[in-house]
Amino acid sequence: MARVLEVQGVSKRFLGLKALQGVTLHLEEGEILAVIGPNGAGKSTLLNVISGLLRPDAGRVLFLGRDVTPLPPEARTHLGLGRAFQIPTPLPELTVRENLLVGALFGRPGRSRKEAEAMVEAVLELTGLAAKAEAPAGELTLLEDKRLELARALATGPKVLLLDEVMAGLRPKEAQEAVDLVRRIRDAGVSVLFIEHLMPVVRALADRVVVLDYGEVIAEGPYEQVAREERVREAYLGRRA
Ligand SMILES: Nc1ncnc2c1ncn2[C@@H]1O[C@H](COP(=O)(O)OP(=O)(O)OP(=O)(O)O)[C@@H](O)[C@H]1O
Ligand SMILES: [Mg+2]
């Protein structure tokens, strides 16, 4: 299988704090990979390095075999790297459809208006937002807000989708719907790297799990395997105690 994304020896410091230390991981084509770890483990920082919002102090990021480490976020989006944020950031005055159209038009240069509109319709259907297409984004419920954040990333037409806690705050039934949605997205040909604190979601969704603690990868493998590892249990227990 092809590796669509590779993170090689990435380190990132914030003043004295080592947020990431020599992180190496990869994402296979068609895979759903979970990155988990206690609060402050470096998960969002890792996504920021992958999407280009942060430059690593060391290491590199390969996307579809190409070194994208020097590229800004927009250039990575144009290549097909999509991202949904932990805190949704839609344009509140615009409708749901308009928000998606912005993503579709700016997600790749040279995409025609007609092409973009067709993508928006497909994303509205896929994400279950069609009924809310004309609603201003600022008037959505939390669940719809989370969906829109995911939909905006999808509307850019990504080959790889990065999701940062898109299910936080959802009720179990809503989280299950979101799990089904991410599966449909993968089945549509998008590889997914997601960060999540909800373990039932990780178990249900992830083909493979990478565990971060204090900026380092401490475990990697199928959920059932990493959940049993002593180092993983200690990482979670240690912070909560
Ligand atoms: N811009 C920044 N400046 C300084 N320190 C930062 C910055 N961003 C993150 N940090 C610190 O880096 C560490 C890793 O943060 P990060 O947000 O990546 O963790 P996380 O695993 O996403 O946590 P959470 O589960 O709470 O979202 C934390 O100690 C955090 O306080
Ligand atoms: Mg985070």
Q: What is the tens place of the pLDDT at every residue in 57-101?
A: 999 999 999 999 999 999 999 999 998 876 777 888 999 999 999
- Residue ranges per structural domain of the chain: 3-90+159-240
CA angle centred on 50, ends 232 and 228, rounded to 5°: 15
Candidates 49, 152, 67, 162; CA nearest to 107 is: 152
CA distances from 85 to 51, 70, 155, 236 (A): 11, 21, 14, 23
| 215 CA: nearest ligand 1 atom | 14
pLDDT band at residue 109, thresholds of 50, 70 and 90? Answer: confident
pLDDT of residue 236: 86
**If you measure from the C-alpha of residue 18 to the centroid of ligand 1, how many angstroms do you get, rounded to a whole number?**
10
**If you measure from the C-alpha of residue 46 to the centroid of ligand 1, how many angstroms do you get, rounded to a whole number?**
9
Distance (Å, rounded) from C-alpha 181 to C-alpha 61? 27
Query: What is the assigned CATH class of domain 3-90+159-240?
Result: alpha beta
**If you measure from the C-alpha of residue 164 to the centroid of ligand 2, how many angstroms do you get, rounded to a whole number?**
7
Across the chain, mean pLDDT equals 93
Percent of all residues in the chain with a pLDDT value above 70, rounded to a whole number: 97
pLDDT of residue 215: 98
Tens of pLDDT, residue by residue over 172-223, are 898 999 999 999 999 999 999 999 999 999 999 999 999 999 999 999 999 9
pLDDT of residue 239: 57
Residues with CB under 6 A from ligand 1: 14, 17, 19, 37, 39-45
DSSP codes, 62-122: EETTEE-TTS-HHHHHHHTEEEE-SS----TTSBHHHHHHHHHHHHSTT--HHHHHHHHHH
b vs e for 188-211, b when ≥16 Cβ sit within 10 Å of the residue's Cβ?
Answer: eebbbbbbbebeebbeebbebbbb
pLDDT of residue 241 exceeding 70: no
